[in-house]
Structure 1
Amino acid sequence: MKRIIVLGLMTLAVSNAAAQKTENSLKKAFKDKFYIGTAMSLPQINGTDVKSDQIITSQFSSIVAENCMKSMFLQPQEGKFFFDDADRFVAFGEKNNMFIIGHTLIWHSQLPKWFFVDKDGKNVSAEVLKQRMKNHINTVVSRYKGRVKGWDVVNEAIMEDGTYRKSKFYEILGEEFIPLAFQYAQEADPNAELYYNDYNEWFPEKVKTVINIVKNMKSRGIRVDGVGMQTHVGLDTPKLEEYEKAIVDYASAGVKVNVTEMEISALPSPWGTSANVSDTVEYQAKMNPYTKGLPQNVQKEWENRYLDFFRLFIKHEDKIRRVTMWGVTDNQSWKNDFPVKGRTDYPLLFDRNFKAKPVVEKIIQLTKEKK
C-alpha cells in the first residue's frame, strides 16, 4: 500500500511540474498582450527536429517560415511552383492553432534568377515585371487565403539613409513597385494583414521614408497593416531610446509594429575591424571569444538587454502586434555564421541543449509586474 501511495505522489509531483511548466509558457504569459512567435527551419517543419518542435508548440503562439516561402524556393522556374514545404509549414500552424506569417513575397534577395530577365538575359520591361509580380503574389497568397494571417509583402527596400535600395525592382519599376506589391496582395486576400519589413529599422532617415511610403499607400486606398522591425540587435546597438522612438513613430502612421526577426547577439561586431591576412588568427579569436560558453558578466549583460527590450514591448503593447524570435535554439541561429562564419553565438532564448535559458522565466515575470 505504501508503495502505491509513494508512486501516486511521484506521479502527482511530475504532473504538477509539467502543469507548472505549461503554465509558465511564453505564449500564455503574452496571451493578452501580443503574439509571441518564432521562425521555423525545414527540419522543424518536416518534423525531424522533434525537440525544437516541442518548444515551438509549448512556448509560441505564432510562426513564420525562415526560408521555404521565399520566391527562389516557391517558384524556382517561371510558372512552376513548389509548395510542399510551405504546405507542411502552414499545416503545422493550423494543427497547433497558431498565428501564421508568410515571409516574404517581394525581396531582392533569395529570388530566382529568371524573375527580372528575358530569354536573352536582358532586363524585362516594366509591364512584364508587373505581371510576374502579380502572378507570383496572387498564386502564393491565394493558395493560403484565410490560412496565412499576415504577409511580409515587401522586404528590405529602403537604405539606412532613407533612399531606395537600387534593386532590380526599383531599377525597372521605380518607387511604384512597393504599392503594386501591396495592391496585388490585398486583391489576393483582402483579410490577411500586410506588412513592410526591414532591418536597421531604427535609423531616423529610414523611419521617415517608410512612414512616408505607408502614408502614401493609405492615401491611395492601398492597405498596409504593419511595419516589421526585424530587431537583429547586439549588446550595444541600437540605443533603447532610438528603438523606442522608432516604435512610436511607426505607430503614429496608423499601423501596428511587428517585431519580426529578433535575436540579441552576445558577440563583438566585426564592422570596422581589420581582417588583413596577417591578422587572421588574432581576428578569429577576437571575433569568436566565447566558444566554451558566455562569461558570467557577459551573460548578465545579454540577459539585461533582453529584459530591457521586453519591458519596452510591454510598455508599448498597445502598438505591438507580435514579437517573433528568429529561430528557436542557439545552435540553429544564422548568427553563428553572420557576419563572421563559424562563430559560437548565444542569441536566442533556448540553448544548444534545447533548454529554456533563465531569461525566459524572467521575461514571463515581466508580464506580471504592474505598470
Structure 2
Amino acid sequence: MKSKVIFGLASMAVVASAAFSSCTEKAAPEPTLKEMFQDKFLMGVAINENQASGLDSLGAATAAKHFNAIVPENVMKSAEIHPEEGRYNWEAADQFVKFGEDNNMFIVGHCLIWHSQLAPWFCVNDKGELVDSATLKQRMRDHIHTVVGRYKGRVKGWDVVNEAIVEDGSFRKTPFYEILGEEFIPLAFQYAHEADPDAELYYNDYGMNVEGRRNTVVRVVNEMKNRGLRVDGIGMQAHMGLDYPDLNEFEESLMAFAGTGCNVMITEWDMSALPTLTQSANVGDTIAAKANINPYADGLPADVAAQWNDRMEDVMRLLLKHSDVISRVNAWGVADGDSWKNDWPIPGRVDYPLLFDRNYQVKPFLAASLEPEAENVEEAPAESAE
C-alpha cells in the first residue's frame, strides 16, 4: 500500500525512528534529506535571490538544513548577470556562491548558453540584426570566460548549454543555432573548460524521456567526448505532472545517458498537482487564461495530494534504483510558494509541485524512501520467545 498523506517533518522522524531503533527513551534526531540520501546522491535545490541574500530566512534555513548542493534559479542567466555588453551584475551571483560556500554545498552554475532569458544584445548588432559567426564566437567566449573565470575553483559544475534540442531530435531554432549551427554547443564546452579546467560541465534539457531528443543528446555528447571535449554530466530536467512523463521512457533515457559515460543528474525536479495543460517546460510557452484552470487555489484536496505523493514516491524509487549512475537530484525550488509553476503557463495559477509545502514542511512521500529498510525488518523471521 502506498504511504498515507501525513504532513510534516514529524512523519520523517517517526519512520526513521522505526527503521533504526524501536526502543529508545530519547527521540531520534530529525533526519534531513541530505542525510537520508548521503550514500546515494547529492540532494540539490534551486534557490532564488531572496534566499541567497537571507531576505527569505525560512527558505534559506530550509535549503541549508536539507540540501548539500545548490543551483541559482535566475541570477546567473545572461539577462541578469550580463544585461549589457561589457557590463556585469555580480552582486546577486556573488551572494549565491557565498551562500553555498558558507553552508559547505556543492555549487552548480546555471546557465552559460541559453536562448531564453538571454541578454537582448548578445546575438544582434546595433541594428538588431543577427551578428556574424566570428562576433558571436567572441561574445560567447568573453561571456563564458568572464563568468566562469570569476568563480573558478568555487563553482564546481556548470550547466553549459541549456535546452538546445527539441522533441523530434532537431535543433531548436535559436540565434546560436542560426548563426553557428550545431557547433555552438562544443564551442561553449570548449570555452568553459578553458576558463576552469577543473569544473564539471553539463548539458541540460527538459522532456528528456522523449526518444527524439534522447537520441540527439546521446549523439551530441558522444561526438564531443570523441573530440576530446570535457562533458561530465547530462541533466534530465524532471518537470513532471500527474500524467507525464511515462516512467518507463524516463528510465530508458536515464540508462541511455548513463551509457555515454556521463553522470546523470535530475536537475529541475518538480511535479505539478494540477490538470496538465502542456508538457513543455519552455518558459515562453504560455497559454491564454481559461475558466477552471486554477482548481486548487485554496488548497490541494486530500485525494489529489495522495495521488501526487504516490507518484513522487514511484519516481524516488526509480531514482534510488539507479543511484549508481545518478550523481545529483535537484529540486527546482525550496517550497511550493517559490515554484515557477504557480504562474505558468497561466499567470495566477496556484500549484503544489515541490518537496516542501508552503509552511516549509517536507512532503509525505519522502518518509516512504525509508520504507524498504522497514519492510526488510518486518519480513525477517520472528525470534523465538524462549
Is the shorter-chain TM-score for this pair beyond 0.5, marking a shared fold? yes
Deviation per CA, 1:218-249: give whole Å up to 9, x if none.
11001111111010000111111011001001
From 307, 318, 321, give the equivalent of 1:315: 321
Residue of structure 2 equivalent to 1:296: 302
Q: Secondary structure at the match of 2:254?
A: helix
Q: Secondary structure at the match of 2:327?
A: strand
Cα displacement (A) at 1:358 = 2.1
Q: Secondary structure at the match of 2:178?
A: helix
Amino acid of the residue matched to residue 257 of structure 1? Answer: V
CA RMSD of aligned residues (A): 1.9
Cα displacement (A) at 1:284 = 2.6
Q: Does 1:20 align with 2:29?
A: yes
367 and 53 in structure 1: CA distance in 2 versus 1, 3 angstrom threshold:
farther
Amino acid of the residue matched to residue 174 of structure 1? Answer: G
Q: Does 1:268 align with 2:278?
A: no
Residue of structure 2 equivalent to 1:87: 94
Equivalent runs, 1:321-336 vs 2, <5 Å: 321-336=327-342
Cα displacement (A) at 1:360 = 2.9
Q: Work out the CA distance in 2 between the residues paired with 1:138 and 1:159.
A: 28
Equivalent runs, 1:35-114 vs 2, <5 Å: 35-114=42-121
Q: Secondary structure at the match of 2:186?
A: helix
Cα displacement (A) at 1:367 = 7.5
Equivalent runs, 1:208-287 vs 2, <5 Å: 208-271=215-278, 283-285=290-292, 287=293
Deviation per CA, 1:105-125: give whole Å up to 9, x if none.
000111111111122222111
Deviation per CA, 1:234-284: give whole Å up to 9, x if none.
011111101100100100111111111000101001249xx999xx6xx43
From 166, 187, 195, give the equivalent of 1:188: 195
Amino acid of the residue matched to residue 104 of structure 1? Answer: C
271 and 144 in structure 1: CA distance in 2 versus 1, 3 angstrom threshold:
closer
Q: Work out the CA distance in 1 between the residues paired with 2:241 and 2:140.
A: 35
Residue of structure 1 equivalent to 2:5: none
Instruction: Give % identity.
Output: 53
Residue of structure 2 equivalent to 1:9: none
Q: Work out the CA distance in 2 between the residues paired with 1:367 and 1:188.
A: 45
Q: Secondary structure at the match of 1:64?
A: strand
Cα displacement (A) at 1:350 = 1.0
TM-score, with structure 1 as normaliser: 0.90
Contact 1:30 1:367 in 2 (8 A): no
Cα displacement (A) at 1:361 = 2.2
Contact 2:309 2:363 in 1 (8 A): no
Contact 1:25 1:364 in 2 (8 A): no
Deviation per CA, 1:338-359: give whole Å up to 9, x if none.
1222111110111111222222
Residue of structure 2 equivalent to 1:7: none
Amino acid of the residue matched to residue 91 of structure 2? Answer: D
Residue of structure 2 equivalent to 1:3: none
The structure where helix makes up a greater share of residues is 1
Q: Secondary structure at the match of 2:160?
A: strand
Deviates more, 1:195-204 or 1:119-128: 119-128
47 and 189 in structure 1: CA distance in 2 versus 1, 3 angstrom threshold:
same
Amino acid of the residue matched to residue 349 of structure 2? Answer: R
Cα displacement (A) at 1:365 = 4.6
Q: Does 1:126 align with 2:114?
A: no
Q: Work out the CA distance in 2 between the residues paired with 1:297 and 1:354.
A: 21
Cα displacement (A) at 1:212 = 0.3
Q: Work out the CA distance in 2 between the residues paired with 1:45 and 1:369.
A: 39
Structure 2: state its 5+ residue gaps: 1-25, 280-285, 377-386
Q: Work out the CA distance in 2 between the residues paired with 1:276 and 1:56.
A: 32
Structure 1: state its 5+ residue gaps: 1-15
TM-score, with structure 2 as normaliser: 0.86
Contact 2:287 2:346 in 1 (8 A): no
Residue of structure 1 equivalent to 2:160: 153
Name which structure has the greater RCO, CA cutoff 8 Å, separation 6+.
2
Contact 2:243 2:276 in 1 (8 A): no
The structure 1 segments of at least 4 consecutive aligned residues displaced by more than 6 Å after TM superposition are 367-370
Q: Work out the CA distance in 1 between the residues paired with 2:295 and 2:50.
A: 29
Q: Work out the CA distance in 1 between the residues paired with 2:130 and 2:301.
A: 52
Cα displacement (A) at 1:366 = 5.5
367 and 77 in structure 1: CA distance in 2 versus 1, 3 angstrom threshold:
farther
